[in-house]
A = this chain, B = another copy of it.
Amino acid sequence: MLIIPVIISILSLFFVGYLISWIQKCDMGTPKMQEIYKAIKNGADAFLKRQYKTIGLMTLFLAVVLFVVYALNDKWLIGMQTSLSFLFGALCSSLAGLVGMWISVRSNIRTASAAQTSFSKALTIALRGGAVSGITIVAMSLLGISGLYFIYSAFGYLPNEIPSLLVGFSFGASLVALFAQLGGGIYTKAADVGADLVGKIEKNIPEDDPRNPAVIADLVGDNVGDCAGRGADLFESTAAENVGAMILGVVLFPYFGINGILFPLVIRGFGLLCTIVGIMVAKAKETDDPLKALNKGYFVTCGLAAIAFYFVTMQMLNNILFFYAGLVGLAASIVFVFVTQYYTEHKYRPVQEIVKASATGHATNIIAGFAVGLECTAATVITIAAALLASFKLGVMTDLPSGGLYATAVATMGMLSTAGYVLAMDTFGPITDNAGGIVEMSGASEEVRLITDKLDSAGNTTKALTKGYAMGSAALAAFLLFSAYFEEAKLTVVNFARVEVFVAGLLGAMLVFFFSSLAIRAVGKAAGKIVEEVRRQFKADSGLMAGTSTPDYAKCVDITTKSALQEMIWPGLLAVVLPIVVGVLFKAEAEAGFIMTATIVGVLLATVFNNSGGAWDNAKKFIEMGNFGGKGGDAHKASVTGDTVGDPFKDTAGPSLHVLVKLLGTLSLALVALFI
């Protein structure tokens, strides 16, 4: 059975190879564009090199700590295995991030170049660039887990023993993802906010204007945050979810045998095939709405995934009720997409409320946006609750012991079967954003800009949608990981009436708030340094404003790199150290309480951050279309404030919380031996 996901993954990587060679053959545009491309590439490479050095050192250190702690408890073998799986997971996650950035840097410039001649071609390049990232991530996660499975089998472990041995892998992946997403998220928003504060507000020059010394740092940010960071993040998600579901499969080992354990891998393999078809059918005519093409591909993927789900479920689990549970998950993912759309698109009531509030000033804009963010938690929670209850009920109806729990795992798999496509849409966002920046900076004509603006606006929507999807799947997966932790820790209850558990719960909720505070402040601090540098450059050389001399882009890139790396350390360490301390001091049951509240609060607060940020962004865009006085009016100024506040919310704190929630799940699983 394991051969199926392996073969599909390898085939998918061949397909990725085809996509890459196709993209590489595309035109690289004017010399001016190539010059900008090189600057972006160098900046991104330099950041990633330094970032991964820091992350690598921390990972190594933690691997040694892991081993030593286990060894001190006389668990040499499990310590060795956990440390090695941990390192392997960390390596794969880093690779996923690197691939994400490698391809996005190369697709940006080609999308920009294609936009000079054809909207349709530009869209295809950007989506295929995204697909390289999305498919590679899912395939690598499947290969990594299958590979470890093979190795452990070869060492004589039984199929029902192996899943618990894989948690080190997903913990390693989570750890790298946390720092990659934090560092990248701080980088991208510090550069963005820093560039805007001086450029747009003080100097009154447009976004992506080549006179702004921070503009290259801003473009680099899209690549290191939205591509590399998100790549590691989503690699970790797929790994954690697979391992969690496999552990629950062990519970049903007496009934399904190895099928229950390998089901998650097989179904995701088929999901990859569906994604490939979806990517190939997503094409647009010259006059089409880009979202129409992207949606077409998405719904094709969903439809095929549903069919594949039916056959795989009937073949491996032979119970139609599990198929229904999978459909529940798939349906929930579609609902998440629509909920996010409702809360972040300008057509609907929430963004319109923010727009209207902008007319009465900065403060009312902020109040309205924040209220929208708080409000949208209701729809999110109701969807998660409905999906969990419905799939659990279906599982209970199978009359298998723990059938309900396993059915929630199947629902999670249903939701995640389209992950590859969703990842492709996600990476589509920063690629088109960068392409727009390159076009703007290279001084291309108005029509070309119109094309990239159209793509960029679609990219903003897909980015928001992915966040909704990612958050929803994080919630389901968290329940999965939590249940798996229960199995591993041999817990039967988490009793919140015990004072240690209650206190741990308080601390878990606190971690989420405090971590968010650190992440947001990090952006503020790093942005402050950039503002100083940009102001310095404008002051030192009056030729900058006139456009007669070139700013020192590299200096800004360097400052952003340094401060983003510095600022990512504390929140990252806090997220790793606090749960360990709580677990060691208060033991397994309190740790469960800690993770539980941290997860619930994390999911909700991330939803607030993501959706309020998206809504503020689109409220500004709606005003910029010429409503309520259009660009430069008072309402516009207020909406820019909201957009700027939303930046660290939606691109630093929100995505980092998403990783944090999953990290807590994998960390507790990997270190459960310490908490008993």
User: Residue A524 at the B interface, CB < 8 A?
Assistant: yes
User: Residue A243 at the B interface, CB < 8 A?
Assistant: no
CA distance in complex: A479, B404 (Å): 32
Q: How far is the CB of A315 from chain B (nearest CB, A)?
A: 27
User: Residue A68 at the B interface, CB < 8 A?
Assistant: no
Contact across chains for B506 and A385 when beta carbons are under 8 A apart:
yes
Contact across chains for B495 and A360 when beta carbons are under 8 A apart:
no
User: Residue A648 at the B interface, CB < 8 A?
Assistant: yes
Using known A-B contacts A362-B641, A404-B499, A497-B493, determine if residue A371 contacts B524 with beta carbons closer than 8 Å.
Answer: yes
Q: How far is the CB of A611 from chain B (nearest CB, A)?
A: 11
| Residue of A201, A404, A482, A596 most packed against chain B (CB within 10 A) | A596
Contact across chains for A497 and B520 when beta carbons are under 8 A apart:
no
Using known A-B contacts A381-B506, A499-B389, A499-B392, determine if residue A374 contacts B604 with beta carbons closer than 8 Å.
Answer: no
List residues of chain B with CB within 8 A of the CB of A600: 505-506, 509, 597, 601
**Of B363, B372, B521, which one neighbours A371 at CB under 8 angstroms?**
B521
Contact across chains for A375 and B517 when beta carbons are under 8 A apart:
yes
Contact across chains for A497 and B497 when beta carbons are under 8 A apart:
no
CA distance in complex: A564, B657 (Å): 36
Contact across chains for B520 and A367 when beta carbons are under 8 A apart:
yes
**Of B371, B505, B592, B597, which one neighbours A520 at CB under 8 angstroms?**
B371
User: Residue A510 at the B interface, CB < 8 A?
Assistant: yes
User: Residue A9 at the B interface, CB < 8 A?
Assistant: no
User: Residue A368 at the B interface, CB < 8 A?
Assistant: yes
Would you list which residues of chain A between 274 and 330 have a CB under 8 Å from chain B? none
Interface size of A by CB at 8 A reads 79
**A61-82 Cβ-contact flags toward B at 8 Å (1 or 0):** 0000000000000000000000
| Residue of A479, A499, A503, A597 most packed against chain B (CB within 10 A) | A499
Contact across chains for A377 and B645 when beta carbons are under 8 A apart:
no
List residues of chain B with CB within 8 A of the CB of A492: 495, 497
User: Residue A142 at the B interface, CB < 8 A?
Assistant: no
User: Residue A417 at the B interface, CB < 8 A?
Assistant: no
List residues of chain B with CB within 8 A of the CB of A374: 513-514, 516-517, 520
Contact across chains for B363 and A507 when beta carbons are under 8 A apart:
no
Q: How far is the CB of A199 from chain B (nearest CB, A)?
A: 13
**Of B486, B503, B597, which one neighbours A597 at CB under 8 angstroms?**
B597
**Of B197, B404, B483, B596, which one neighbours A360 at CB under 8 angstroms?**
B197
Contact across chains for B491 and A497 when beta carbons are under 8 A apart:
yes
User: Residue A523 at the B interface, CB < 8 A?
Assistant: yes
Contact across chains for B495 and A377 when beta carbons are under 8 A apart:
no
List residues of chain B with CB within 8 A of the CB of A518: 375
Using known A-B contacts A371-B520, A378-B514, A520-B367, determine if residue A496 contacts B497 with beta carbons closer than 8 Å.
Answer: no
Contact across chains for A381 and B509 when beta carbons are under 8 A apart:
yes
**Of B381, B486, B531, B597, which one neighbours A510 at CB under 8 angstroms?**
B381
User: Residue A366 at the B interface, CB < 8 A?
Assistant: yes
CA distance in complex: A600, B380 (Å): 20
Would you list which residues of chain A between 476 and 490 have a CB under 8 Å from chain B? 479, 482-483, 486
Q: How far is the CB of A194 from chain B (nearest CB, A)?
A: 10
List residues of chain B with CB within 8 A of the CB of A90: none
Using known A-B contacts A514-B375, A514-B378, determine if residue A604 contacts B509 with beta carbons closer than 8 Å.
Answer: yes
Q: How far is the CB of A72 from chain B (nearest CB, A)?
A: 26
List residues of chain B with CB within 8 A of the CB of A491: 497
Contact across chains for A197 and B361 when beta carbons are under 8 A apart:
yes
Using known A-B contacts A385-B507, A600-B597, determine if residue A357 contacts B495 with beta carbons closer than 8 Å.
Answer: no
List residues of chain B with CB within 8 A of the CB of A506: 381, 384-385, 475, 600, 603
Using known A-B contacts A520-B370, A524-B357, A645-B367, determine if residue A377 contacts B497 with beta carbons closer than 8 Å.
Answer: no
CA distance in complex: A510, B373 (Å): 12
CA distance in complex: A371, B479 (Å): 29
CA distance in complex: A99, B370 (Å): 35
User: Residue A500 at the B interface, CB < 8 A?
Assistant: yes
List residues of chain B with CB within 8 A of the CB of A398: none
User: Residue A408 at the B interface, CB < 8 A?
Assistant: yes
CA distance in complex: A497, B481 (Å): 11
Contact across chains for A363 and B493 when beta carbons are under 8 A apart:
no
Q: How far is the CB of A389 from chain B (nearest CB, A)?
A: 6
Using known A-B contacts A497-B494, A516-B374, A604-B509, determine if residue A362 contacts B362 with beta carbons closer than 8 Å.
Answer: yes
Contact across chains for A197 and B494 when beta carbons are under 8 A apart:
no
Residue of B nearest to A502 (CB): B479
User: Residue A215 at the B interface, CB < 8 A?
Assistant: no
List residues of chain B with CB within 8 A of the CB of A497: 482-483, 486, 491-494, 592
Using known A-B contacts A374-B520, A509-B601, determine if residue A496 contacts B499 with beta carbons closer than 8 Å.
Answer: no
CA distance in complex: A513, B363 (Å): 20
User: Residue A593 at the B interface, CB < 8 A?
Assistant: yes
CA distance in complex: A363, B514 (Å): 20
30 contacts between A and B (CB under 8 A): A193-B363, A197-B364, A364-B524, A366-B366, A366-B645, A367-B523, A367-B524, A367-B645, A371-B517, A374-B513, A375-B518, A377-B513, A377-B517, A381-B510, A384-B506, A385-B507, A388-B499, A389-B499, A475-B506, A482-B497, A486-B497, A492-B495, A493-B493, A493-B495, A496-B593, A496-B596, A505-B596, A509-B600, A509-B601, A597-B600
Chain A residues within 8 Å of B, Cβ to Cβ: 193, 197, 201, 357, 360-364, 366-368, 370-375, 377-378, 380-382, 384-385, 388-389, 392, 404-405, 408, 475, 479, 482-483, 486, 491-497, 499-500, 502-503, 505-507, 509-510, 513-514, 516-518, 520-521, 523-524, 527-528, 531, 592-593, 596-597, 600-601, 603-604, 608, 640-642, 644-645, 648
Leading 5 A-B pairs by shortest Cβ distance: A374-B517, A363-B644, A381-B510, A375-B517, A377-B513
